[in-house]
Amino acid sequence: MTSVSEADIAHLFHPYTNLARHPETGPMVITHGEGVRVFDEAGKDYIEGLAGLWCTALGWGEERLVAAAAEQMRKLPFYHLFTAKTHEPATRLAEQLAGLAPVADAKVLFACSGSESNDTAIKLIWYRNNALGKPDKKKIIARERAYHGVTIATASLTGLPVNQRGFDLPIDRILHTGNPHYWRCGQAGETEEQFASRRAEELEQLILAEGPDTVAAFFAEPVMGAGGVIVPPATYFAKIQAVLKKYDVLLVADEVITGFGRTGQMFGSQTFGLQPDLMTVAKGLSSGYLPISALIVAGHVYEPIKAQAGEIGSFGHGFTYGGHPVSAAVALETLKIYAERDILGHVGRIGPVLQRGLRALQQHPLVGEARGIGLIGAVELVADKDRRTAFDPKLAIGARVVAKAQAHGVILRAMGDAIAFAPPLIISEADIDEMLGRFRLALDEAHGELAAAGVV
């Protein structure tokens, strides 16, 4: 019998992996997890500094979620929501999400991933404008460095080259405007507020150039995740929303990463004052234990869709596993744990510990900026701190530092030369200190090598 590594190399098609190098380097085999740590096949422990993929909010080994899944599996392991069928887990979960989300008169449509829910949002926006007699109002605006998924439509929204190169993307009717990274994109002498005003003006000019009667919606993550953990500057979303309102452009808040406490409130929209017309959630909805996502739709968006479906005779969209009863049961138990253990309060207390630790790293010669809020953050590596000079991308400095951090027992993610931190929400102060200590060792090693090579 082959080993797991051998079988992996022979048969598994890996996402977000250098497929040409993988047969040489092989996989990292994770066997189990406990709390904020996972373990490889050799028994080595790693602090999971990105909560898996921004998702395992309650950490590994949460027996209540295992029990919720087992109980529902025995009772009703599968049923669908097509043709007016329902079951209690999905119905109760929709009820709770409608009550929690800052979306007026909400209706909830389930799917299995953030990509699927964002893709569905695009379809609903187009469907709604057809219903309203606005067949030309179909263009969608996202932002450079945004991440909204990997379907054909959502990868087009995503403003990262690796998600589009080689795939014939983006598709038509998808536009991009500037990102809100003040430290990297602000002009000399420009305040945060002035930068926010400039970004809002750029958005307005894009809408006017395209024609307001052709622009339907604007997608935004409250904090940009895979684009580098970019926190919006002061007044940014207030100014952006004023432009959207002026031209009747819907706001879609992508809360796939920021939802369920990551920023210190239940949703990032509440942290930054967004008033979304549609909202997408996933990841933390089930603490990553089972696939589930949701599109939360405001009443004024839903009503024309309902009327159009009535005329057609059916709403012709849905996923087999959308609202799966086992996933929904686990999500309900996840929400219950968040409330019972006051996870929001814990993030409010422990988040500043992470943020202080990240900002202390700004003293390191490789770190140009540390940024974040709550339990999400990043450090950006630079060749020259004073000039904010980026490294040559070919050097892959971020990936090198992340590899060294992994050797020291902490798993992080490099987005170019920005290193992301988003540990499980249950993390303790001691674990944060240990995580950052292990990361500093990686920084020091990388700096020594780069200095010896004359790169810095």
Buried b or exposed e, range 2-23, using 16+ CB within 10 angstroms: eeeeeebbeeeeeeeeeeeeee
Domain count, the chain: 2
Q: Are residues 246 and 381 in the same domain?
A: no
pLDDT digits (tens, 9 = 90+) for 289-324: 999 999 999 999 999 999 999 999 999 999 999 999
Residue with tokens 């009820």: 95
Q: Are residues 255 and 276 in the same domain?
A: yes
- Sheet-wide strand order for 107-111: 107-111, 293-297, 278-281, 250-254, 215-220, 139-143, 174-177
**Quick one: tokens of 438?**
């292990």
Mean pLDDT of 13-34: 96
- pTM of the full structure: 0.96
**Quick one: tokens of 260?**
């369920």
Last residue of a domain, one of 340, 356, 379: 340
Last residue of a domain, one of 280, 312, 340: 340
Last residue of a domain, one of 340, 371, 390: 340
CA-to-CA dists, residue 128 to 137, 199, 243, angstroms: 10, 28, 21
- CATH classification at residue 346: 3.90.1150.10
**Quick one: tokens of 142?**
């996202």
Rounded to the nearest integer, the mean pLDDT of the chain is 97
Burial class (CB in 10 A: 0-12, 13-18, 19+), 428: middle
Q: Are residues 196 and 335 in the same domain?
A: yes
pLDDT digits (tens, 9 = 90+) for 47-102: 999 999 999 999 999 999 999 999 999 999 999 999 999 999 999 999 999 999 99
Domain ranges, residue 125 = 65-340
Distance of CA 369 to the CA centre of its chain: 21
Please list the alpha-helical segments (H only) found in 146-279: 152-157, 182-185, 192-210, 236-246, 268-272
Question: Number of helices (H) and strands (E), helices first, in the chain?
Answer: 16, 15
Q: Are residues 223 and 184 in the same domain?
A: yes
Q: Are residues 93 and 110 in the same domain?
A: yes
pLDDT digits (tens, 9 = 90+) for 160-198: 999 999 999 999 999 999 999 999 999 999 999 999 999
> Which residues have C-beta within 8 Å of that of residue 245, sequence separation ≥ 6?
none
Q: Are residues 76 and 96 in the same domain?
A: yes
pLDDT-derived band of residue 327, with 50, 70 and 90 as boundaries? Answer: very high
Q: Are residues 136 and 271 in the same domain?
A: yes
Mean pLDDT of 95-111: 98
pLDDT-derived band of residue 37, with 50, 70 and 90 as boundaries? Answer: very high
Residue 394 to residue 286: CA distance in whole angstroms: 38
- CATH classification at residue 185: 3.40.640.10
Q: Are residues 247 and 362 in the same domain?
A: no
Which pLDDT does position 1 carry in this prediction?
Answer: 87
Tell me how many degrees the CA angle 57-63-64 measures, rounded to the nearest 5. 80
pLDDT-derived band of residue 416, with 50, 70 and 90 as boundaries? Answer: very high
Q: Are residues 402 and 428 in the same domain?
A: yes
Mean pLDDT of 14-28: 95
Q: Is 286's pLDDT higher than 90?
A: yes
Q: Are residues 113 and 230 in the same domain?
A: yes
pLDDT digits (tens, 9 = 90+) for 397-406: 999 999 999 9
Q: What are phi and psi of 150, to 5 degrees?
A: -130, 5
Find the helix packing angle between 429-452 and 343-360, rounded to 10°: 30
Q: Are residues 160 and 28 in the same domain?
A: no
Q: Are residues 118 and 152 in the same domain?
A: yes
